[in-house]
Chain A
Amino acid sequence: MINIEKRIYDAIEEVPTLPTIYSVLSDTLISPNANAADIAHLISTDQSASFKVLKVVNSPIYHLSSRIESISLAVLHLGFNEIRNIILALSVINLFSKKKLIAAFRPVDFWKHSIGVGVITRYIGNTLQVARPENYFLSGIMHDIGKLVLFENFGDQYEKVLQYSEERKCQLIDAEKEILGIDHSAAGAILAEKWKLPDSVLKAMKYHHEGSSGDKDMLTAAVHISDIAARMLEFGFAGDDYVQKPNPEAWELLKLPPHFFTKSIGVLTASFDETVNSILNCD
């Protein structure tokens, strides 16, 4: 158990770097001469990516006034960063869904849960008119990625983790700590570091179970609440059946409007269904 963190670091060294389109996009964004047309053109060269991006931005959580049919319009309405981050989210799902996992941990259910968290987190970002909404959907998609890293590298032990969580009726995170000595939020943070994700995204991944990073971070609180909400609303399956008590600090920080969930359940469910269908191509 002593070397487990080192092994995780080594294993993450092996994780592929982010898909080319994302790094090219990031470089283009940094370049002072970049303009909307360049970026829209770049994304349009990847047919399936642009198709999926348009599906995502047209789902009700983004509540755009009219249907968006082109990447350049999407960039115009939502900004470069939002579009780039949606592409990143889609690439990560692609990257990891090719690998096979055991029956108790189906990638489709895992991604449904993460998409559910992404949708709710993004909708909270909308509702609260946060400063950097572009990181919200991405953080939801990424929050549990450490589970896949742990599972891939410690497959045998991870079966024990799943078993332990069933027997003790506890969340996977507690079973991971017990059996592996490291949990998926720590593993995810290591990956976020390697991929140079924005600091607030890294924090949200690292503290999504605590619900607070200690410095009143809205995004961390939003992912924490959305994770709990996605479980209760049966958006996918997180790998265990249990729902932890939300951190009261997170509720306090977010100050969601009264009856937020009963009022938005229709929008959330429709967005979840549409996004799952377009991203995972399943029913």
Chain B
Amino acid sequence: MPTIIHLEEIVPGMVLGEPILNRYGQTLLTPGVVIEEKHLLMFKTWGIKHITIEGSTPRADAGEVSEDLKNLARKHIQKRLLWQDLNPMEEDLFNASVERVIDIYSSSDLENDDD
């Protein structure tokens, strides 16, 4: 389900749902392109205010992050910890780390993660 979003809401990692055309109707970016940091600047220079992305906005609400992605993040962190039975402060740090890792996944920064 494509969603139209405002320039301010665009985050690297989103996938373009509809082509971006210049004022002469020429295609600048095709659907399926993964938005990168450099595109944000291009949109500004081209005066583009809205784009259409695939799916819904991932950051609109934390509840929308898929359970799969959360589990992946949890596993990624868990396998690095040298201890178990986290106390409440450690639990809180763990939860913050899950958020952070999900963010990294969605901006596809963590490419060389084995398994």
Specify which chain B residues have a CB less than 8 angstroms from the CB of A232 in the assembled complex: 77, 80-81, 93-94, 96-97
Q: Is the CB of A245 within 8 A of B83?
A: yes
Check if A261 is an interface residue, CB within 8 A of chain B.
yes
Check if A229 is an interface residue, CB within 8 A of chain B.
yes
Q: Contacts A258-B88, A261-B92, A261-B93 hold; do A234 and B83 have CB atoms under 8 A apart?
A: no
Specify which chain B residues have a CB less than 8 angstroms from the CB of A248 in the assembled complex: 87
Specify which chain B residues have a CB less than 8 angstroms from the CB of A265 in the assembled complex: 96, 99-100
Output the least CB separation between B35 and chain A (Å).
16
Tell me the complex Cα distance, A269–B87, Å: 23
Q: Which of A243, A251, A264, A269 is in CB contact (< 8 Å) with B81?
A: A243
Q: Which of B62-84 contact A (CB under 8 A)?
A: 77, 80-83
Report the nearest B residue to A241, measured CB to CB: B80
Q: Contacts A232-B97, A251-B89 hold; do A244 and B83 have CB atoms under 8 A apart?
A: yes
Tell me the complex Cα distance, A241–B113, Å: 11
10 closest A-B pairs by CB: A245-B83, A261-B96, A232-B97, A265-B96, A261-B93, A262-B96, A233-B100, A261-B92, A243-B81, A243-B80
Known: A232-B97, A243-B81. 4 other contacts (CB 8 A): A233-B100, A242-B81, A243-B82, A265-B100
A residues touching B (Cβ–Cβ < 8 Å)? Answer: 171, 228-229, 231-234, 241-246, 248, 251, 256, 258-262, 264-265, 269, 283
What are 25 A-B contacts defined by CB distance under 8 Å? A171-B82, A228-B93, A232-B80, A232-B93, A232-B94, A232-B97, A233-B96, A234-B104, A242-B81, A242-B82, A243-B82, A245-B82, A246-B90, A248-B87, A259-B92, A260-B89, A260-B92, A261-B93, A262-B92, A262-B95, A265-B96, A265-B99, A265-B100, A269-B100, A269-B103
